[in-house]
């Protein structure tokens, strides 16, 4: 490797630099020329001027000889082209040409006469005028020169100055350029010398390094211009060195890795010859040394029935038909050294190195994991106690085909009692023995599975009559456990399996049926009623929605006015709770029972109390002539202080005048704690609230009981009225009650009055208030208020 410096980039740079320098000098000199010319002109003019003063002096002192000598001397100087001293009478006193002296100027240069005349005529008073190369000087007041004035005319050859400047500049330029070129050459050659020396050193070191002297580095000189280059090269050499070292380490490491991984690893070339094998692979295939497998054909490890396919896929000529095999975890069998087979999982990857194809197989011995899997399966899919299938096991079995036949859920009665009374070992024993009994059924198209808590599942294709009779045969059988006799009993629910619902859902149906119905059934055997379960589910969902509706205040009132039986005026109204969910109107008959069967009723009561108080307050604030509003509360909760306190709290919160809120007690027949309820009702009454008994005549309570409660109003149910109009006996009872109420000063309200007959009848009985479709159906709030306003308007105008 010979470094050729003309190829180095700085060569061109140096040449460019030299030319640039020369160019710069030329430009500089050219600009300098102008300056030089003007400077020289300046100094020459100054010189001329001083000479003119000298001449002026000689003229004034009448020193003609000296004047002429001076002119002669000056004429020899290059810049003076012509000098003329002219007296006022136009006689030439002195001239650069001797022959002109004492002549009349007209005979010398007539043009000058004309020029001087012209200048004088123009009032030439200044001492000099310069006109091109011509300088005319006037001696304004000659002291002693025949009292005449004189002119000095000097013609200068300015081209001499320019030539002179040019010459100076040219010489400058030459010297400068030569010096520049010379310096550049010297600099260039010396740089090359230094550069070559340093580069040769670097070159030698690099050659040394490439020949194997790995510790070879360039000596770094801090003063050297190459220190950065040397540093970089050294860094590069360090990196090369460390790369080399890490390659060796990597190889060692991969060997260690190869032999330390538990996976077996076998690499073959494209002919199927094993070229790499690790210890794990050797162990998996039952060999002792890697050498036993190295350079062997891989087919040695492949079972005979797969060999031809294997060869075809991997090693048939140049085309490797390996699609669908590479990079996939597969479970196959391999042949061990002793000829036995070993289950393995295998992943084959293909890679190409230096144009050659290699296959590497990662192999895992599955013998252990297969065993483990089997034991896991046992745990997962069978019942440890009875060794029957568990639910998952059954599910797995049934998942193979569409669901059909029957699924029966069986529960041992009294197992809980036995467990608690005798201990779990007794219970377990009982379960085990029953399981043994059940196993008798297995051969009759039945699959038996054990569930937790003494429950069993039977899947069968037999009709229910068959398997129920079989099950019945187990019942009431005495069985001995640890020599103690136990009478075995069971209950069962079963379902005809279909494919509309999942197995889990249908099993759940069985569980629900077993829990809710089987116990109620006389023989404790029940077939699942899917409709009933669906209804239950609907109610559960509805209950959930109702709970949300209460929280979100989606319940509202319709108001059914109560009219005076005499004036037919609205005197009060009953607030009836309504629920509209997503445009679906859900009647109270549907949701109130749900509320009552759950924990929601007290919440509805509170909601009703709060909403009624808020509405009354709202109307009052609007200036309405508000009539008493009745709300329905279940007597079931009236004995609770919390309910009463809540009423007081809301009445207080909304400042509701107590006479405007009436509480109608429903389900008075269900009053448990009569005294407490009565006490609470008394508290309400004491505070000014009105209390009424709703739906009187539907329950079984007698009037005495009811009348014992502190009430002001009794609402007689529609059915009662209808009955009274239908039979004399009923009429007598009703009229009796009416009389009693009158006697007790309890006001009466007829509910559900739909016909004029009913109205007339109740009115005849002096029933105070009439409520019903005849006079008004329950109204939406706006309609109700509208009606109230109309009535008030009539009153005020009437």
Partner 1 sequence: MSKLVYVFTFVAFVTWMPLGCGSAPPEKLQIGTNIWPGYEPIYVARDKGYFDSIHIELNELRSATQVIQAFTGGDINVAAVTLDEAIRLAYLQQDISIVWIFNFSNGADALVTRPEITELSELAHKNIGAEQTALGQYFLSRILEEAGLERKELKVKNMDISQHEESMLKGTVDAVITFDPVLRSLSKQGFKVLFDSSDLPNEIIDVLVVKNHVLETNKTQLKQFIQGLDRIRKDIQNNFETHSAFLNRRLKLNSNEVAEVFADLVIPSPQQQLAVFSKREELQHLFERYARILNIEDLASCRCEQLVNTELLEQLSED
The residues binding partner 1 (CB under 8 A) are 5-6, 11, 15, 18, 22, 65, 68-69, 72-73, 75-78, 96-99, 101-102, 167, 170-171, 173-174, 177-178, 181, 185
Tell me the closest approach of the beta carbon of residue 165 to partner 1, in angstroms.
Answer: 14
Is the CB of 7 or the CB of 443 nearer to partner 1? 7
Residue 404 three-state SS: coil
Closer residue to partner 1 in complex, CB, 97/369: 97
Nearest alpha carbon to residue 67 among 46, 81, 86: 86
Q: Shortest gap between Cβ of 157 and partner 1 (angstroms)?
A: 10
Q: How far is the CB of 68 from partner 1 (least distance, A)?
A: 6
Q: What are phi and psi of 128, to 5 degrees?
A: -150, 150
Instruction: Give dist(CA 279, CA 294) in Å, integer.
Output: 12
CA–CA distances in Å: residue 266 to residues 281, 282, 305, 322, 362:
7, 9, 21, 17, 7
Q: 172 vs 489, which CB is nearer to partner 1?
A: 172
CA distances from 419 to 425, 427, 429, 769 (A): 8, 5, 10, 64
Cα-Cα-Cα-Cα dihedral sign, residues 434, 440, 441, 445: positive
Spatial CA neighbour of 78 closest among 99, 55, 38, 47: 47
CB of 6 to partner 1, least distance (A): 6
Q: Exposed, middle or buried by CB within 10 Å (0-12, 13-18, 19+), for 384?
A: exposed
Residue with smaller CB distance to partner 1, 160 or 763:
160
Tell me the closest approach of the beta carbon of residue 194 to partner 1, in angstroms. 17
Smallest gap from Cβ 181 to partner 1, in A, equals 5
Q: How far is the CB of 178 from partner 1 (least distance, A)?
A: 5
CB of 113 to partner 1, least distance (A): 20
Taking the alpha carbons of 108, 109, 115, 118 in that order, is the dihedral positive or negative?
positive
- Rounded to a whole number of angstroms, the minimum distance from the CB of residue 228 to partner 1 is 27
- In angstroms, the CA 224 to CA 194 distance is 10
Which residue, 99 or 222, has its beta carbon nearer to partner 1? Answer: 99
Of the two residues 178 and 253, which places its CB atom closer to partner 1 in the complex? 178
The single-letter DSSP state of residue 220 is P
For residues 187 and 309, which CB has a smaller minimum distance to partner 1 in the complex? 187
| Nearest residue to 15 via CA among 181, 233, 205, 170 | 181
Q: Of 58 and 456, which has the nearer Cβ to partner 1?
A: 58
User: Could you give the C-alpha distances from 510 to 479, 494, 690, 716, in angstroms and in order?
Assistant: 27, 6, 51, 46
| Minimum CB distance to partner 1, residue 198 (Å) | 19
Residue nearer to partner 1 on the CB measure, 7 or 354: 7
**Residue with smaller CB distance to partner 1, 76 or 520:** 76
Instruction: Please provide residue 151's backbone torsions phi and psi, each rounded to the nearest 5 degrees.
Output: -120, 145
Helices (H), 261-317: 279-284, 304-315
Judged by DSSP in three states, 273 sits in: strand
Phi, psi of 741 (to 5 degrees): -60, -45
């Amino acid at each position: 490797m010979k470094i050729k410096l003309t190829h180095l980039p700085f060569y061109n740079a140096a040449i460019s630099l030299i030319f640039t320098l020369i160019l710069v000098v030329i430009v500089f000199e050219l600009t300098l020329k102008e300056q030089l010319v003007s400077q020289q002109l300046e100094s020459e003019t100054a010189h001329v001027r001083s000479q003119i003063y000298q001449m002026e002096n000689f003229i004034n002192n009448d020193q003609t000889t000296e004047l002429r000598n001076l002119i002669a001397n000056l004429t020899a100087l290059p810049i003076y082209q012509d000098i003329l001293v002219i007296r006022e009478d136009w006689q030439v006193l002195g001239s650069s040409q001797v022959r002109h002296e004492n002549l009349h100027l007209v005979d010398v240069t007539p043009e000058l006469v004309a020029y001087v005349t012209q200048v004088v005529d123009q009032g030439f008073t200044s001492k000099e005028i310069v006109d091109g190369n011509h300088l005319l000087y006037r001696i304004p007041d000659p002291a002693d020169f025949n009292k005449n004035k004189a002119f000095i005319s000097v013609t200068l050859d300015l081209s001499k100055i320019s030539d002179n400047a040019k010459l100076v500049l040219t010489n400058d330029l030459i010297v400068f350029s030569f010096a520049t070129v010379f310096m550049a050459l010297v600099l260039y050659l010396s740089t090359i010398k230094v550069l070559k020396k340093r580069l040769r050193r670097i070159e030698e070191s690099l050659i040394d390094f490439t020949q194997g002297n790995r510790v070879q580095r360039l000596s770094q000189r801090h003063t050297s211009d190459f220190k950065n280059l040397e540093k970089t090269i050294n860094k590069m050499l360090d990196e090369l060195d460390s790369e080399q070292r890490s390659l060796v380490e990597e190889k060692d490491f991969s060997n260690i890795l190869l032999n330390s991984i538990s996976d077996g690893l076998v690499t073959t070339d494209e002919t199927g010859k094993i070229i790499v094998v690790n210890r794990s692979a050797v162990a998996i295939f039952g060999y002792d040394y890697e050498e036993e497998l190295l350079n062997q054909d891989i087919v040695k490890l492949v079972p005979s029935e797969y060999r031809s396919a294997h060869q075809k896929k991997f090693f048939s000529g140049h085309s490797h038909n390996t699609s669908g095999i590479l990079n996939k975890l597969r479970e196959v069998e391999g042949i061990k050294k002793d000829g036995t087979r070993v289950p393995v999982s295998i992943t084959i990857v293909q890679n190409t190195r230096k144009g050659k194809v290699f296959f590497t197989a990662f192999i895992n011995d599955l013998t252990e994991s297969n065993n483990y899997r089997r034991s896991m399966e046992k745990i997962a899919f069978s019942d440890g106690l009875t060794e029957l299938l568990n639910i998952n096991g059954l599910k797995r079995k049934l998942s193979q085909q569409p669901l059909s036949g029957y699924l029966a859920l069986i529960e041992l009665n009294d197992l809980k009692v036995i467990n608690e009374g005798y201990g779990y070992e007794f219970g377990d024993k009982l379960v085990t023995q029953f399981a043994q009994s059940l196993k008798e059924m297995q051969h009759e198209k039945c699959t038996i599975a054990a569930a937790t808590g003494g429950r069993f599942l039977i899947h069968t294709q037999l009709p229910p009559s068959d398997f129920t009779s079989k099950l019945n045969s187990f019942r009431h059988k005495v069985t001995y456990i640890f020599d103690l006799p136990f009478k075995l009993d069971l209950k069962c629910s079963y379902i005809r399996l279909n494919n509309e619902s999942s197995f889990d859902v249908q099993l759940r149906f069985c569980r629900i049926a077993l829990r809710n119905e089987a116990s109620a059934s006389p023989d404790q055997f029940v077939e699942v009623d899917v409709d009933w379960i669906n209804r239950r589910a609907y109610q559960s969902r509805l209950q959930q929605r109702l709970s949300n509706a209460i929280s979100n205040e989606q319940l509202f009132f319709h108001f059914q006015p109560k009219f005076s039986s005499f004036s037919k005026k609205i005197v009060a109204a009953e607030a009836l709770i309504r629920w509209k969910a997503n445009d679906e109107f859900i009647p109270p008959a549907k949701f109130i029972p749900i509320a009552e069967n759950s924990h929601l009723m007290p919440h509805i009561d509170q909601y009703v109390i709060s909403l009624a108080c808020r509405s009354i307050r709202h109307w009052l604030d609007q200036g309405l002539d508000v009539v008493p509003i009745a709300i329905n509360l279940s007597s079931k909760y009236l004995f609770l202080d919390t309910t009463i306190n809540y009423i007081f709290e809301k009445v207080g919160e909304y400042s509701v005048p107590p006479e405007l809120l009436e509480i109608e007690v429903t389900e008075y027949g269900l009053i448990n704690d009569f005294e407490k309820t009565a006490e609470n009702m008394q508290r309400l009454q004491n505070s000014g609230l009105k209390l009424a008994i709703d739906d009187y005549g539907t329950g079984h309570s007698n009037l005495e009981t009811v009348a014992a409660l502190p009430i002001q109003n009794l609402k007689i149910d529609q059915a009662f009225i209808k009955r009274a109009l239908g039979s004399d006996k009923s009429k007598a009872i009703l009229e009796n009650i009416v009389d009693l109420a009158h006697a007790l000063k309890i006001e009466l309200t007829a509910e559900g009055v739909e016909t004029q007959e009913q109205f007339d009848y109740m009115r005849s009985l002096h029933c105070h208030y009439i409520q019903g479709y005849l006079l008004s159906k329950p109204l939406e709030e706006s309609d109700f208020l509208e009606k109230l306003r109309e009535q008030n308007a009539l009153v005020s105008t009437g």
